[in-house]
């Protein structure tokens, strides 16, 4: 029996392919138990025969049995704990939605303590501003406005100027009175081309005491696309075409070359200058002059160049602008333009191109909107 390679591990409660007395190869328990020499009752399993042997050895192995019993108790408690966590009882905590019945509402600004709907409006400078409602919470007030034009789609609203909130006696509900400039917290498209915009104040007011909201200016913002068309004139380039553009890089100057650009339909930018240097066509774009649109702040954000005019093949292009300046330099590859707009028949070297320029523009609108119940047409 000493040479038999089967023994019982009381900790694992399994037969192991090891000699009795050695350590369990799985849990490391020393002193594996030998199996009984007799085969056991008919039909009994290996585990049953081993259990009979353990009962016979109980007086001699009482200490080991106590350890096994303790281990089994701990394992059983662990299993019960896992079962309890994975199988909720019939008296489990109700869903959060049930518990939240008496809990205050929350918004992205914090807990909400009150709200009042208004529908008051005022018009000036062709724009109507409506106070839709006021939401008040812990340490904040959210003014919900709608801005609409008479017959056009309005862009987004990014800021308000001269904001004042007062009660029926003309007292300011905010410390300091008028807020010179405040950015909006959101600006989304409303009905009929209008804009729903919110302003968040860092102080809670009494919405029932609010009787008047004054606004002295709006900043309208939009992202739009300007289209520019132009022509590059370079007869020599047409006769010296190459894939790598080596001719352009080696040629020192080109006094007969010209860059002509038309931006007459542009609303926010103008072409302040052009250049043709080696293999690059460069255009300096800047916001339109103050005489055309006073206060306009436009920033060029992107450009796509096309060769051949009329939206032909796209050219490699890029944009660069000085830090803190509204202008930008737009450039594209002249050799690529020449390879896609060959003018071999006429030999004039005229190559048409057009640009799609993305511009973020902000335009201040001055006025005086006194939004109060008197004179308002509430819906």
SS3 string, the chain, reads: CCCCCCEEECCCCEEECCCCCCCCCCCCCCCCEECCCCCCCCCCCHHHHHHHHHHHCCHHHHHHHHHHHHHHHHHHHHHHHHHHHHCCCCCCCCCHHHHHHHCCCEECCEEEEEEEEEEEEEEECCEEEEEEEEEEECCEEEEEEEEECCCCCCCEEEEEEEEEEECCCCCECCCCCCEEEEECCEEEECHHHCEEEEEEECCCCCCCCCCEEEEEEEEEEEEEEEEEEEEEECHHHHHCCCCCCHHHHHCCCCCCCEEEEECCCCCCEEEEEEEEECCEEEEEEEECCCCCCCCCEEEEEEEEEEECCCCCEEECEEEECCCCCCCEEEEEEHHHHHHHCCCCCCCCCEEEEEEEEEEEEEEEEEEEEEEECCCCCCC
Residue 91: inside a domain: no
Looking at the fold, whether 26 and 147 belong to one and the same domain comes out as no
pLDDT, one tens digit for every residue, the chain (379 residues): 334 467 878 777 778 777 787 778 777 777 777 776 544 444 444 444 444 443 444 444 444 433 343 444 444 443 434 333 333 444 444 333 233 334 457 666 678 889 999 999 999 989 999 999 999 998 899 999 999 987 667 788 999 999 999 999 999 999 889 999 999 999 888 888 899 999 999 999 999 999 999 999 999 888 888 999 999 988 887 777 777 777 877 887 888 889 999 998 888 888 999 998 878 899 999 888 644 566 677 788 888 888 876 657 888 888 886 544 568 899 998 888 887 775 545 556 788 898 999 888 888 889 999 999 865 543 3
Domain that holds residue 26: 7-86
Structure-derived torsion over alpha carbons of residues 72, 77, 83, 86, reported in degrees to the nearest 10: -130
Residue 238: inside a domain: yes
Looking at the fold, whether 124 and 58 belong to one and the same domain comes out as no
8 Å CB contact between 300 and 329: no
Domain final residue pick, 86, 119, 136: 86
CATH number at residue 186: 2.60.40
Residue 111: inside a domain: yes
Global pTM value: 0.53
8 Å CB contact between 166 and 174: no
Number of structural domains (the chain) is: 3
Per-residue confidence (pLDDT) for residue 84, from 0 to 100: 38
Number of other CB atoms surrounding residue 242 within 10 Å: 12
Residue 283: inside a domain: yes
Looking at the fold, whether 263 and 165 belong to one and the same domain comes out as no
Residue 156: inside a domain: yes
Looking at the fold, whether 242 and 353 belong to one and the same domain comes out as yes
8 Å CB contact between 198 and 188: no
Looking at the fold, whether 157 and 140 belong to one and the same domain comes out as yes
Looking at the fold, whether 254 and 134 belong to one and the same domain comes out as no
Looking at the fold, whether 217 and 234 belong to one and the same domain comes out as no
Per-residue confidence (pLDDT) for residue 181, from 0 to 100: 94
Per-residue confidence (pLDDT) for residue 207, from 0 to 100: 93
Looking at the fold, whether 73 and 15 belong to one and the same domain comes out as yes
8 Å CB contact between 136 and 115: yes
Cross-strand bridge partners of residue 16: 7
């Amino acid at each position: 029996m000493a040479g038999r390679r089967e023994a019982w591990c009381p900790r694992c409660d399994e037969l192991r392919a090891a000699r009795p007395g050695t350590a369990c190869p799985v849990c490391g328990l020393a002193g594996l138990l030998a199996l009984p020499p007799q085969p056991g009752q008919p039909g009994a399993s290996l585990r049953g025969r081993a259990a009979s042997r353990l009962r016979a050895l109980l007086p001699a192995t009482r200490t080991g049995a106590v350890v096994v019993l303790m281990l089994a108790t701990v394992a059983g408690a662990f299993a019960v704990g896992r079962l309890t966590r994975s199988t909720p009882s019939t008296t489990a905590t109700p869903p959060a939605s049930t518990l939240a019945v008496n809990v205050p509402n929350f918004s992205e600004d914090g807990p909400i303590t009150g709200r009042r709907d208004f529908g008051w409006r005022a018009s000036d400078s062709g724009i109507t501003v409506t106070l839709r409602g006021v939401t008040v919470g812990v340490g904040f007030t959210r003014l919900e406005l709608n801005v609409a034009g008479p017959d056009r789609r309005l862009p987004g609203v990014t800021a308000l100027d001269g904001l004042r909130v007062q009660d029926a006696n003309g007292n300011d509900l905010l410390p300091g009175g008028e807020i010179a400039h405040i950015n909006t917290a959101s600006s989304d498209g409303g009905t009929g081309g209008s804009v729903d915009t919110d302003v968040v104040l860092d102080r809670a007011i009494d919405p029932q005491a609010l009787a008047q909201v004054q606004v002295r200016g709006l900043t309208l913002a939009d992202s739009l696309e300007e289209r520019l068309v132009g022509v590059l004139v370079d007869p020599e380039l047409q006769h010296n075409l190459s894939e790598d553009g080596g001719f352009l890089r080696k040629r020192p100057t080109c006094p007969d070359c010209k860059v002509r650009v038309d931006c007459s339909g542009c609303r926010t930018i103008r072409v302040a200058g052009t250049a043709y240097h080696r293999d690059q066509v460069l255009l300096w774009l800047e916001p339109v002059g103050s005489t055309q649109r006073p206060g306009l702040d436009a920033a060029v954000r992107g450009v796509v160049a096309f060769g051949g005019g009329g939206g032909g093949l796209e050219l490699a292009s890029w944009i660069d602008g000085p830090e803190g300046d509204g202008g930008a330099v737009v450039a594209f590859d002249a050799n690529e333009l020449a390879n896609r707009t060959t003018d071999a028949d006429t030999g004039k070297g005229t190559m048409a191109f057009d640009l799609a320029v993305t511009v973020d523009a902000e335009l201040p609108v001055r006025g005086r909107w006194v939004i109060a119940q008197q004179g308002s047409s509430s819906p």
